[in-house]
Structure formats: C-alpha cells, structure tokens
Chain A
Amino acid sequence: MINLTINGKAITAPEGSTILEAARANGIDIPTLCYDKAVEIYGACGLCVVEAEGIPKLLRSCSAKVSEGMVVNTESERVVQSRKIAMELLMSAHDGDCVAPCQLNCPARTDCQGYVGLIANGEYDAAIRLIKNKIPLPASIGRVCPHPCEKACRRKNVEEPINIAQLKAFAADIDLNAESYLPDLMVRTGKKVAVIGAGPAGLTVAYYLNIMGHSVTVYDMMEKPGGMLRYGIPQYRLPKEVLDKEISLIEKSGVEIVCNSKLGRDFTIESLKAENDAVIVAVGAWKSSSMRTPGEELEGVYGGIDFLRGVIKGNAPDIGEKVAVCGGGNTAMDACRTAVRLGAKEVYVVYRRTRNEMPADKLEIDEAEEEGVIYKFLTNPLSFNGENGKVKSITLQVMELGEPDASGRRRPVPVEGKTEEIAVDSVILAIGQKLVQSDVSELKLNERGNIEADPDFFNTDIDGVFAIGDATNRGASIAIEAIGEADRCAKAVDAYLNGKPLDTRVPYISKRDESKIDYSDREKQSRLTPKVLAPEVRNKSFDEVSLGFTEEEAKAEASRCLECGCREYYKCKLLNVAQRYDIDPGRFAGEMPQKYSHDENAFIERNSAKCILCGLCVRSCREVMDIHAIGLLGRGFTTDVSPAFALPLDQTKCTNCGLCVQLCPTGALTEKANLKKQVPLNEEYTEQKIDIDGKKASVLVSRYNGKILRVIPNDDLSRSMKLSREELIEKVK
C-alpha cells in the first residue's frame, strides 16, 4: 500500500492505482468526462487534472499513478482555473439547449416542453404532475395567461408557436374532472406561516410551503379567495367554477384559507408575526391607476378593475349605451368585452398607439372586435367632459407614431391641433393598477410606492416578513410572474424556517444561438386553437368563450413541439461539471463546429452538434464490443464522431447494444424512450436483473411516473443478445 495525502487528508492506496482511483475510493470527487473503467485511459477532457507537490506540470489523475509520500491537491487555484477554462472552451462549442426556450421564458420556469410532450403521448396524469410542480392553479392560468412561453416558442420560426397555454388548461381540466392530483406532503415541521392575500401569489406560496411541511394559513379580505383571478378576470374568460375547484384542491392539500379578514382591520403584520414563524405579504394591487386627465372625478368614470370587480360581485354600475374604455392591455379587453355583454351598444377602446403596439393578447383584440368593439387607435383622452357632474363626452387628441422609445415601440406624439370628440355615457380607465399603500403601512415602500422586497430572498425590512406579487418592487404584473415569485419565495421561506442557506445563483445552462438555427427541414403544420362560441352568441353571455381542446386536437397540437430542450438534461454529466465551476463561455464565444449530423434508428439518436468528443462511444464500441460501428472523422475543431463511411447507424454493424448511449456524458447520443414523442423527463434509473436463456443479465430500467421508458443493457450478456426494446421491456415486466 502507498501512503499519500490528498487535499490534506492522509490516505492509503494500492500500489499501481491512479490518483483518480485513490481519490474516489476516499470520497474525494474529481470531475471527469472522458474516463470510464470500461475502456482504456484516454486523457482528452483534461478535467481530472490535479496538482502534486514538487511536480511542475498538472497531472491527469486518470493516468498518473500514486507514489509514496505524494502530496496532491485536487482543487488548487491552478487546477480550478484549468478546469474552468476547459469547461468554458467546451461549452463555447457545445451547440445545444439544455432547457427549451419556452421554459426559460416562463416567469415560473414551468416545464412547458415536458408537459406538452407528455400530452402528445397521452400521459395526462404525468403532465399535470409536472405542471403542478410550478403552478398550483393550471386550469385558471392556462385560460388567462398571456403566455410568455409561446413568445419564445421556436415553432414560430416554422409557422406559429405551440398553443402551450391552452394545452395546460386541457391537461388541468382533465385532472379537475377526474380524480384530481394531490401532492405528497413532506414531514410536518411544526412551523406556522401566515400568508396575506389569497391571489395567485399567496395561494402558490401557501401550496408549496404546505408541501414542504409547514402549516400555512392564508388570510384574504374578500368573501372568496382567488384575488385578481376571481375579481379581475371576467367569467367568460375564467369561469369561477374552475377557479373554485382548483382552490379547493389547494385547501384539500392542507392549506387553510380564511376569508373576509383584512390586513389593518382584522389583524396587523405584527399580530400575525407574533403567532407565526413567518409572514408573507401578497396583498396585490387593488387600486386603478389614474390617467391624470381632467374630468376623471366625474360620475360615470370608472377604474378598470373596480368595474370588473363590480360586475363579478353582481353589482355592475350603470354604464349606459356608449362606453369608452381607455387602455390597450388585457384589462382593457376584459372591460370592453364585459361592457358589450352588459348590453352597451357602442363600446370604444381608446388607445394612443395602433393595433400592433397593443400589449393585450392578439386573440383578445380580435375576439373583442368580433363582438363589436370599436377601436379608436392613435387617440388619447385630453379631457372627460361632464354635465351636471356626469360624464357626457371625451375630447381625444389625435396622435401619430414617432421614434421608438425604450420599450422598442414607436412613441405616440400628438398631432398639433387635431382633436376629436365622442359622446359617451361612461368611461372605464384600464391603464393599470396600484398597491393600496395604507394597507401596508407597517412595511418600507420603494420609490415607486410598492413594498420593497429582496429580489432573491423576498424579505422585507421586518425580519420574518416576506413580500411577493403585485404589491412589491416593480408593481403589478401578470399572474404567472407572481406565481414564479411565490415558488421561489417558498424556497426562501423554507430555508429561513430551517435556518439553512439558500443558493440563489442561477445555474449555468447551455443555449443555442437562436439566429443560427435552420428550420427549413421542418414540415409546416398550422397551430390549433380550441373552438370558441360564435360572436353573436357570446356577446350576450358570460359563458366561457373558449370550448377547450378536444383530446384529438390537444394531442395533435402538442405533437407540433420541436423538442428544443435536451432529453439528457436531468442526467447530463457535462452540465453537472459545467455548473460546478463558475463558468462564462461567452468569453470565448466564436464559431460553432458546424456539426449537425443527425441520425437515428429505432433505439439510438445521434446529435453530433452536442458531442464533446470524449471518445467514450467510439472507444467502447471498439474496445468493449469490438464492433467499430463509429469512429472519429476530420481533424481539429471540426472533428466529428461518425458511423463508418458516414453511413446511417442502421447500415453499420451497430447492434443497438446501447453501451455508447450509456457512456455518453451528454446529449449527443440518447436512447429513445418508449414514447411516441420524445420528452426530457427526470427519469428514475434502477438496475434490474432479467432472465435471458436461464441466465441472469443486468439492465438499467428508467421509469417515469410508473411507466417504463427505457431499458438499457448493462452487462456483457444483455448487450450481446441484440434484444429489441419491446423484448427488453417485456422481460423487465
């Protein structure tokens, strides 16, 4: 035995063993990407380098042998720098997306590709479980979300994005109408948390903290929970029955909701703090913003959310026959379409820019128009004119579009001296909403007049009091933004309650350069949208406009997904090492190797753009299997792994033994899952013995949500049998 020191720890190792073997045997992890016991030492990745006292060169620990008295440092500054640059270089030439852009653009980081893919496969139960990891109110959010995911969806570069939001609603509706999914709860911690506000933010943070084992009570000032989802969104867009069902599931999972209980009236933050281990303020923004236009105080001028709330509560104001809605967002659309449904004859939408600049969802804009709404683009109210204190008309300043502003939209500028007047019975100002500051007088506000909360930890100026959602920082935003914050806040509060540190670093992931992606090989396939009620029917009714996807439609729509995110994301060794070091591959950004040889057979899919040339596939095919189905091609930066003579895998001697796939440290070689549409899923791998001709053979079985997705031969016997996947799955069963 040899005595040596690694990272200050005295260890012994058998003579002839490598530093890597000695370190790993003693629980010291040295990263590697090209090393595997099954094949000969290769030394390509250079990540296993270590420093040894008295040796000027860095040693590759996979090959350097231990020697008596050796003093090794596996994490010295020089070693870390070497690994870091190796990873930066490697990732600068790794042309792949770890995570799909839809997921990255979702403020809640919902795994859109995951559930869309599961829906395409008809795996609705798994889909809802995946969704509920991030959104506890998917049927509601699916209906109302302005879906930033779809804006990032690359399918738009082929024709149109995937209808992600509606697919979510589809899966969630199936769950609501059957035996609904309830999350497994963690061991109870005995900690108590109070949440103020039962809107999307409050309900979400409560849902996840409850799952984490804490007892959560949500207090809400209104008679029913749901916040803006209930009181800000009209029935025809989000039926309250759907919302009720979803909230009742949250309650069923263990969250207590107390309504008609208002901050400042029934309790204070201080009083809640005294009874709880943490308090989360999620009170929302319940005041309509002013336009600072003369005449706003006139009778018949209403705030957008005040108007919508009144209608929902059953005490709609008398808006008369001619209604003008000011604003171009989704609240304006909700207001004008509600006004139509209340029987108004002429409903105008006054917006200072044009249709193209409207922040509202395009579908909403179109559907409102179908329902008879009249758009007054490029106009801005100069004054609301009244008679006897009641609004009678609006004077509009005619605008034109000038230079683009900071948001990239062209700035509206008044056309000198050009005005217009329209007669109205009422005006609805839908230009934004604000926090009611008097409610949160106990907390420090920022210069915008919102609660100041840390963007990572969500703590306020009072210890143990956290704040999220529309009431905080930059003010009101969309529901999914609040849900994302709530999810992260739950983790922060959990860490706070457990006295554990919270890692707020955004882990590195690889992203492809969007501008360099070629879609010319994709077949065009139009986007499907659920059928809707006819305009002449729906403009008289508060029934839900959308009829939702049929199963057939949902599967077809979900199947359009381009599968941008990497299937190996959950077990990618490359990403694991990349995230271990604080890397910035952008420093070395340059040309990509332009290797796009893509090839697949029934089992194996090859994507050489992601290949890191560790050589494990080539070597295992040659050294272990003696098959030589793949080899290295070319030289230098464009070196590629390719089947012999660049033939498709099926035309080589490949026996689908799966060894290369098993050893590939990244997504260059993947074993296809037992699914029609391939989906990146956090599969569970277990080793299992199967019976082959009376002998026991080892296989690796991956399962997801109970379903067997892949069976990978794991020893010489199972590899040599050339069994088809169906046969393997049959044997595992």
Chain B
Amino acid sequence: MRIVIGQGSCGIAAGAEKVKKALLNTNINAESITITGCIGMCWLEPIVDIYDGDKLTRLVRVSENDAEAIAEYVETGDESKIEKLVVSDEDSEFLTKQTRIALRNCGIINPDEIDAYIGADGYTALKKALGMTPEEVIEIIKTSGLAGRGGAGFPTWFKWNAARQSAGEEKYLICNADEGDPGAFMDRAVIESDPHNLIEGMLIGAYAIGAKHAVVYVRAEYPLAIKRLKNAIAQATEKGIIGDDIFGSGFSCDFTIKAGAGAFVCGEETALIESLEGHRGMPRLKPPFPAQSGFWRKPSNINNVETFANVGWIINNGGEAFAAMGTEGSKGTKVFAVTGKVKRSGLVEIPMGKTLRDVIFDIGGGMKTDKPFKAVQMGGPSGGCIPAELIDTVIDYKALGATGAIMGSGGMVVMDESTCMVGMAKFFLDFTAKESCGKCIHCRIGTKRMLEMLERITNGEGKEGDIELLEELCYSIKDGALCGLGQTAPNPVLTTIKYFRNEYEAHIKEKKCPSGECSALIEYKIVPEKCKGCTLCARNCPVDAISGTVKQPHVIDTDKCIKCGKCYQSCRFDAIVKE
C-alpha cells in the first residue's frame, strides 16, 4: 500500500507535517509514505490517501493521533480502524463533479519527483511542440480558444503571436505568479502540486514566441511554491529539458525565478516588469505593450500560471478538445478558489458554461450555516459581487462581465445574509487603497477618498448624496486610472451599489446596518423576558459592561459596551439581540 499525504501549504497549515511525522514513527514502511500537493479539499485537511493498487481510500481531517490506527489498517486491512476517517460519499462529489485540466496532476503526483510527472505523460507535449513550427503551436492555441486566466481573459494566441512578430532576437517569456487577490490560491496550488506542468507550458510558450529566457515572477509569500519550483527546474535542467538544445530540437531556453517583494500591483504586467528590472513596482504606460517593449525593453510575453498549466494538455489533446468545452466565447475550464460561507471550500475546476449555482451549491454544498446565500464576490478586489438572484449566471467572460463582476483569476468569496455589503466593499477597497502604487492620481487619492466615504457610511456618518458621489468617483477612477488595479478598484463598490443600494441607504438614512455587521450602527440589548440570569454573558464581557444579579435579568451598559459580540455569541437563551 502507498500512503500519500497531501502537502500543499494548506495541508501543512492544517497539520499534514505532523501527521507525516507520526506516520513515519509507526511500523509502516517509510518508503511507502510519500507526499502529493494540494488535493483541493481545503475543509477536509489534513488528507491522507491510501492506495492499494488502484484502489484509493481517502482519509480526511487526520490528526497525528490517528497514525497508529492507520498503521494498523495498513498492516491488517481492517477497515474498521479507519472507518471514521474515510471521506463521505457526499464530500467525494466535490472532486468527482469537477473536470480537471490545469489541476490534472494536483493531489495525485509527487511534486518533488520529475519522474512522477513524466509518468503522467509529462513533457510529451513539449516534445510534440518542438516537432512543430512555432506558428503551428500558436495555431493550436488559437484553435483551443485559451484566454488569459489571470483575469483579463485576453486571447493567449494573440499575445504569443504579437511577441513572435516583434522584431529582435532577445525575447522573454514571463510567468506571472504574483497571485495577490485575497482568498485566491489557484496558482499556488499549481506550482506547489505540479511545478513541471508549469515549466512545460512555459517552455512551449517560449518556443512559440521565440524566447530563450523564461522567468517566473512569484510572490515571496509562497516559499513552498518557490522551493518546489526551484527543485523542479533543477531536475528538468539535469534531464536536459531546460537548457541548450532541448530534446535535440535546437531550441534553447533558460529558467529563472524572481521572488516579488509583496506588492499587489506587481501582478499588473508592466509593474511586474519594472519590479523584475529592480525598480519600484509601478505600472508603465501602455502603449508600448510588453510584446513590443517589455523586460529590459525587449519583446516579452506574460501569462498567468493557470494559462500555462493548460498548454501542455492542449498540445497533447488538440485545440479542438479544449474548445469543445465551454461556451461560445469562453473555452476550456476554469479553476476557482471557493471560500467564505460555503460548506465545502477549496479548489474547483469546471468547464466554462457551468453556472455559479453548480459551483457554490452542487460542488460547494451550499451554505455553511442556515443563513441564506446572499452574494458571491468574483475576482477579488478587482471584481464585483453577484447577488443571489443571479445565481444561475453562466461562467463565461461575457456573462459574468454583464453582471458588473468579472471572471477574475478565480477568487470566489461566498457570502450569506450575515455579511454587510457596504462593509464588504470597504474591505476590498481598503485592500486596493493600501496596495495602490501611488503613481496615478485617480488610484492614489481616489481610492482613499472612496474608502473614507465608505468608512463614514459604515460609521453612521453618511450623508445624502454620498452614494451618487461615490458612483461619480467610481466611474471617473475606472476611466482615469493608469493600470488595471485602479481601473477595477471601484468594481466592488459599483456592484454592491447596483445590487444592494438599499443597504447603503439604510446606513446613510436610517443609520442602520441591516446585516448587523457594522459595529458603530448596532447596539446589543438583553431581552429581560428571555434572560435567565445565568451570568454567562457578564463573565464573558471583556469590559464589564453587563451587570445583574444571579437569576435576575441582566442589563448591558451601552456606554461601556465595545460591541465585541461576545455576549451575543455566548448567550444560550437567545436573550441578547443586536439592534
């Protein structure tokens, strides 16, 4: 039997390393214990997969204390030992309902072993591509309809072709792995779990555009991804897959990694180039586009991790096979990082053309609590929210764009009725305002002023006309900001105003937060009829704002109360209400 422990960052954070150590301390043969990357079922981590030949038994939420039981099962085959750890059929559907291309090897192969990748048909696509002309490769990508998965959805073949057509010997192929959206971890999972897939996709791209240098710009906050990628590059170099005259084709390409210093804006391609060159990460004005003048002013092509992760599959299976999936305007699959108030959170790859309902309810299992679904934020701080009534929106660049949100890079934050939409918009705007590079006026000052307005509104200091002023500013920023960060920063505000204007109005006119999330606008009160005088709330209150005698109704001193909500959470009789 083979014991495979899911060791993506998420698994490790949940305790997978401790589980591995504990398993190594049992009498299980150490050689049969290996690791894999991210399986994608975040809510079930740590996960241990036990393979008996082709038969997979998946154990979930494993702790180091389960090691002995697992060892006994491995030794005896006694399933009762691990019964309580085996994944439920319902939860298994999370994976079986997906269609995985970019993530095809994730959570299956060992990311530290190039042979594991090669064993899964790895580098066959590269070999195949090197047998074609670069134009033929570009043609296949064109047929596939692959579009940039970083968020903008620009046709990949077009960018490749533009870089190919650009004059000059010296060209660069760059992978943007500066995944910065709060709540997004698709790219990290690909690099941590299947780094060779990225390398293969990039080498094919480099060949297609005529670049001899490939660069991965990855955020320094992804140390495990960097480690595994470095290891993979070393292994591929050793095998002659990276370097001179790859597979004897005459094509040469070197590989470097640049760790970004943690600026969100460096995910914008021209800012990324500035940062690569050692300058402050600030976007350049386009034109010229990177395809004409990019890294070191040479023609450069930049694609996102997930885009490259599809390339090998497309070359092997043909552009038509990829294009067969999806809608008219959006082909293939898309990976989403589903988080928030959803029951099953994790990585979901599905064909374009499925609906949001498919992702959130069918695969994600619906809401975590009994509070109803309210909205989903797509595309992080650059995206927008889509309300419950549009849950049947099809996953397609155009259809999502029509709602005011965007496909984005894949962040999907699910919210229920307890989320204040003004507060949500404020959260994302706070992020973009802080991450603005400070170069252009609209973004540097505009987002700050928007944030101040939202702060006023959520503090109950909003005034008549604020919504209109916010909208005016939003449209102006979209029009005037220099780069994508600024141009998309107003989206969370615009979509929440579009779909939840009544919530803004309630904050401004009635000084009320309908979801009860804005602490400045709520008051905690004890309903005397319901209070049993158990004193639990008073004991939990960190500021001694609750007084009363045992078995008598208690009272909250609203002047002292800091609205932390501890009493509300601790009351067993629903005697405390938010107003």
Contacts and interface: CB of A to CB of B under 8 A. Distances in A.
B480 A635 contact: no
Contacts of B285: 41-43, 60, 62-63
Interface in A617-667: 631-632, 634-639
Given A58-B479, A60-B285, A85-B480, A92 B436 contact: no
A65 interface: yes
Contact of B444 (A65, A78, A588, A636): A636
Interface in A27-53: 41-46, 49
Given A44-B482, A78-B479, A590 B448 contact: yes
Interface stretch (B229-237, B406-414, B469-477): B469-477
B398 to A, nearest CB: 16
Given A632-B280, A636-B435, A637-B438, A89 B482 contact: no
A590 B452 contact: yes
A102 B284 CA distance: 43
A498 B287 CA distance: 50
A440 interface: no
Given A46-B441, A86-B480, A635 B452 contact: no
Given A46-B482, A89-B446, A81 B476 contact: yes
A463 interface: no
A637 B287 contact: no
A587 interface: yes
B60 interface: no
Nearest to A613: B438
Of B433, B441, B442, B447, the most chain A CB neighbours within 10 A belong to B441
A639 B438 contact: yes
B449 interface: yes
Contacts of B441: 44-46, 86, 89-90, 612
Interface string B433-473: 11111111110111111001000000000000000010011
Contact of B434 (A57, A632, A635): A635
B508 interface: no
Contact of A591 (B282, B448, B472, B481): B448
Determine the interface band of chain B, counting residues with CB < 8 A from chain A.
20 to 34
B435 A89 contact: no
Contacts of A46: 440-442, 480-482
A204 to B, nearest CB: 42
A615 B439 contact: yes
B263 interface: yes
Contacts of A615: 439
Contact of B480 (A62, A82, A92, A634): A82
B438 A635 contact: yes
A534 interface: no
A733 B433 CA distance: 52
A64 interface: yes
A590 B449 contact: yes
Nearest to A86: B441
Given A58-B480, A86-B480, A631-B280, A637 B439 contact: no
Contacts, number: 104
Contacts of A81: 476
Interface string B270-299: 000000000010101111000000000000
A93 interface: yes
Contact of A82 (B438, B449, B476): B476
Nearest to A85: B476
A355 to B, nearest CB: 41
Contacts of B437: 635-636, 639
B245 to A, nearest CB: 38
A318 B438 CA distance: 76
A46 B486 CA distance: 12
Interface in A74-124: 78, 81-82, 85-86, 89-90, 92-93
Interface string A277-295: 0000000000000000000
B469 A63 contact: no
A636 B280 CA distance: 13
A631 B279 CA distance: 11
A604 B433 CA distance: 32
A62 B448 CA distance: 26
Interface in B396-445: 433-442, 444-445
Contacts of A638: 438
B164 to A, nearest CB: 22
Contacts of B440: 43-46
Contacts of B481: 46
A45 B481 CA distance: 9
Nearest to B264: A635
A637 B436 contact: yes
A86 to B, nearest CB: 5
Nearest to A632: B280
A201 to B, nearest CB: 42
Nearest to B476: A85
Contacts of B446: 85, 89
A382 B71 CA distance: 110
Given A43-B285, A46-B482, A637 B445 contact: yes
B448 A636 contact: yes
B480 A49 contact: yes
Interface string B143-175: 000000000000000000000000000000000
A92 B482 CA distance: 19
A498 to B, nearest CB: 40
Contacts of A57: 479
A203 B480 CA distance: 52
Nearest to B434: A636
A58 B479 CA distance: 7
Contacts of B434: 635-636
Contacts of A634: 438
Nearest to B443: A636
B476 A44 contact: no
A670 B108 CA distance: 64
Contacts of A631: 280
Nearest to B469: A587
A591 B442 CA distance: 16
A85 B481 CA distance: 12
Nearest to A58: B479
B438 A85 contact: no
Contacts of A63: 285-287
A46 B285 CA distance: 11
A60 B487 CA distance: 14
A93 B469 contact: no
B14 to A, nearest CB: 32
Interface string A135-168: 0000000000000000000000000000000000
Interface string B248-286: 000000000000000100000000000000001010111
Given A44-B440, A613-B439, A636-B433, A82 B448 contact: no
A93 B448 CA distance: 10
A590 B433 CA distance: 14
Nearest to B465: A587
B43 to A, nearest CB: 34
Contacts of A44: 439-441, 482
B476 A632 contact: no
Given A63-B285, A588-B473, A635 B436 contact: yes
A43 B482 contact: yes
A639 B444 contact: yes
Nearest to A42: B285
A42 B444 CA distance: 15
A49, A86, A90, A637 interface centre (most CB from chain B within 10 Å): A637
18 contacts: A43-B439, A46-B482, A57-B479, A62-B285, A85-B446, A85-B473, A89-B446, A89-B449, A90-B445, A93-B445, A590-B448, A632-B282, A632-B438, A635-B435, A635-B436, A636-B435, A636-B447, A637-B447
Given A42-B439, A44-B441, 12 more contacts: A44-B440, A45-B440, A46-B440, A46-B481, A63-B286, A82-B479, A635-B434, A635-B437, A636-B444, A637-B444, A637-B445, A637-B448
Counting from the closest, the 9 A-B pairs by CB-CB distance are: A639-B438, A43-B285, A89-B445, A85-B476, A637-B448, A590-B452, A636-B436, A588-B449, A63-B285
